[in-house]
Amino acid sequence: MNVLIYGSGQLAQMMYLAAVPLGIQVKAVDVANHSVVDPISKQVLNITLSEAIEQADTLSVEFEHVPEDLLAQAQASGKLMPGMEAILTGADRVREKQVLQSLNIANSAHAIITDIAQLDDSVAKLGEHLIIKASRDGYDGYGQWRLSGKAQLADLKQQLAELDLQAVPLIAEQLVPFDRELSLIGVRSQQGDIRYYPLADNLHHQGQLHVSVAPAPHITDELQAQAKSAFKKLAEHFDYVGVLAVEFFQVGNTLLVNEIAPRVHNSGHWSMQGADTSQFENHIRAISDLPLGNTQANTISAMINIIGCDDYSLDLLGLDHCHLHLYGKSVRAKRKMGHINLTADSYADLAEVMTTLAKFLPMEHFPKLLSEADKLAQINS
């Protein structure tokens, strides 16, 4: 069995590592230059993209921002999973909002902006506290602007005036006073079998995910049911195959979909140690038409992103229940260099491990770690 992944970053690398024990060979595509590469070494392989597509049994993606001409070529092969519609929807907030509305899935009140003048109407409709998002190519806090009051509107319009909003519209969203951010990772097989991982509690800083805890504490049956319902509607709409991530705002007892990611996802990295079958292995299983693995959490886990630094102490590897995953990247501000997975039998025990881990880290790069440990320490598991 041969799998070709579009994108050659850490997610392709982790899918490769999950595929090897299954006897599945994985190659990756550097979408910037259309070359086929080894997912680990990044060495360019002596094979053309067309040849790699022909030799592959199935094609998939590690991220949604794959050039559309490459996606069209992949879709034409009949081997792309998930399909092009799902991938394009994950890459475009206008498409995403339209799909959510058509499926009657709760999401933030919003307006689509194709002309700066429409911002005035959006403020009148949605209020003066808005988050403005580029409909494409915005992630990790990039391509976003906040409006905190009408007094800022003129300055904001001036900032946005040079953008081509016909080519890349904006989404103006009502700023939601949410309680927390959650995500559901699920996987759907080629036969329509769906398995769900438990909801994860996600903490962001400056638009980037810093810490995920799974299973998320204080999850009611009602919240879990809402999350599963949204996932099922989306997965069946797209006839989806593989792992899909759905991110939510929790507002009281209601979940609002923030965005979807048609791929394995950062908030599911905890599953590498915290679940019987990781999200990476289950994605490979799904697209290779193998039975899906168990998605139940077998422990309480935390995933801590390593962002923009490499000056942590490798002595952290001496901690029990601590697992380091590095991506082999050079240091750059806001760049995800790797992640650390922690496991424990209770939230209080997890808090203790997180607090101990902090001694080995440059804490200016891990601003959410200790505050999250403090919260977890108060939970009776």
- Output the domain CATH number for residue 165: 3.30.1490.20
Question: Domain range holding 62?
Answer: 2-80
In a domain, residue 142? The reply is yes
| Distances from the Cα of 152 to the Cα of 111, 158, 159, 192, angstroms | 18, 10, 11, 48
Domain boundary, last residue among 174, 205, 229: 174
* Counted domains in the chain: 3
Q: Is residue 295 domain-resident?
A: yes
| Together in a domain, 243 and 145 | no
pTM of the model: 0.95
Instruction: Quote the pLDDT of residue 338.
Output: 98
In the prediction, which pLDDT does 153 show? 87
Q: Is the dihedral of CA 50, 52, 53, 59 positive or negative?
A: negative
Instruction: Verify that 137 and 42 share a domain, yes or no.
Output: no
Token couple for 167: 């080519």
Question: What is the DSSP pairing of strand 110-113 with strand 144-147?
Answer: unpaired
Give pLDDT tens digits along the chain (381 positions): 999 999 999 999 999 999 999 999 999 999 999 999 999 999 999 999 999 999 999 999 999 999 999 999 999 999 999 999 999 999 999 999 999 999 999 999 999 999 988 888 888 899 889 999 998 876 555 688 988 888 788 888 888 888 888 889 999 999 889 999 999 999 999 999 999 999 999 999 988 999 999 999 999 999 999 999 999 999 999 999 999 999 999 999 999 999 999 999 999 999 999 999 999 999 999 999 999 999 999 999 999 999 999 999 999 999 999 999 999 999 999 999 999 999 999 999 999 999 999 999 999 999 999 999 999 999 975
For residues 235 and 367, membership in a common domain is answered with: yes
Residue with tokens 């590897």: 317
Q: Which residues contact 198 (CB under 8 A, 6 or more apart)?
A: 214, 215, 216, 219, 224, 296, 297
- 334 and 279 fall within a common domain: yes
For 126, other C-beta atoms within 10 Å of its C-beta total 18
The whole-number pLDDT of residue 195 equals: 98
Asked whether residue 211 falls in the same domain as residue 321, the answer is: yes
Domain's final residue, options 34, 61, 80: 80
Give yes or no: residues 155 and 222 share one domain. Answer: no
- DSSP letter (8 states) at residue 44: B
Residue 103 maps to a domain: no
Examine the domain organization and report whether 331 and 188 are in the same domain.
Answer: yes
Are 155 and 232 in a shared domain?
no
Residues 170, 284, single domain; the answer is: no
* Span 290-349, pLDDT tens digits: 999 999 999 999 999 999 999 999 999 999 999 999 999 999 999 999 999 999 999 999
Q: Assess if residue 89 is contained within a domain.
A: no
If you ran DSSP here, which 8-state letter would residue 267 be given? Answer: G
pLDDT at 263: 98
Domain identity same for 71 and 208 = no
- Sign of the Cα torsion 289, 294, 297, 302 reads negative
Residue type, 174: Q
Residue 85 lies in a domain: no
Q: How far apart are CA 71 and CA 280, in angstroms?
A: 21
Strand partners, 325: 339
Q: What is the bridge-based pairing of β-strands 130-134 and 58-61? A: unpaired
What gap in Å lies between CA 120 and CA 111, rounded to an integer?
A: 11
Residues 6+ apart with CB under 8 A from 253: 220, 222, 223
For residue 161, what pLDDT is reported?
A: 83
Decide if 98 is inside a domain: no
Q: Which helix (H) or strand (E) holds 35?
A: strand 35-37
How far, in Å, are 2, 83, 84, 279 from residue 87 at the CA level?
21, 7, 5, 18
- Dihedral (C-alpha) 289, 282, 15, 84: value to the nearest 10 degrees? 60
Same domain, 252 and 142: no
| Burial class of 303 by CB neighbour count within 10 A (0 to 12, 13 to 18, 19+) | buried
- pLDDT value of residue 138: 61
Q: Which residues of 68-101 are buried (b: 16+ CB within 10 A; e: fewer)?
A: eeebebbbeeebbbbbbbbbbbbbbbbbbbebbe
Alpha-carbon distance of 138 to 124, in angstroms, equals: 25
Boundary-marking domain end, from 174, 195, 214: 174
Task: Assess if residue 118 is contained within a domain.
Answer: yes
Determine the pLDDT at residue 374: 97
Q: Are residues 11 and 62 in the same domain?
A: yes
Which of 342, 346, 348 is closest to 320 using CA atoms?
Answer: 342
Domain membership of residue 198 (yes or no) is yes
pLDDT per residue over 265-306, tens digit each?
999 999 999 999 999 999 999 999 999 999 999 999 999 999
CATH number at residue 359: 3.30.470.20
Coil, helix or strand at residue 289? coil
Residues 81/84/86/88 CA torsion (nearest 10 deg): 140
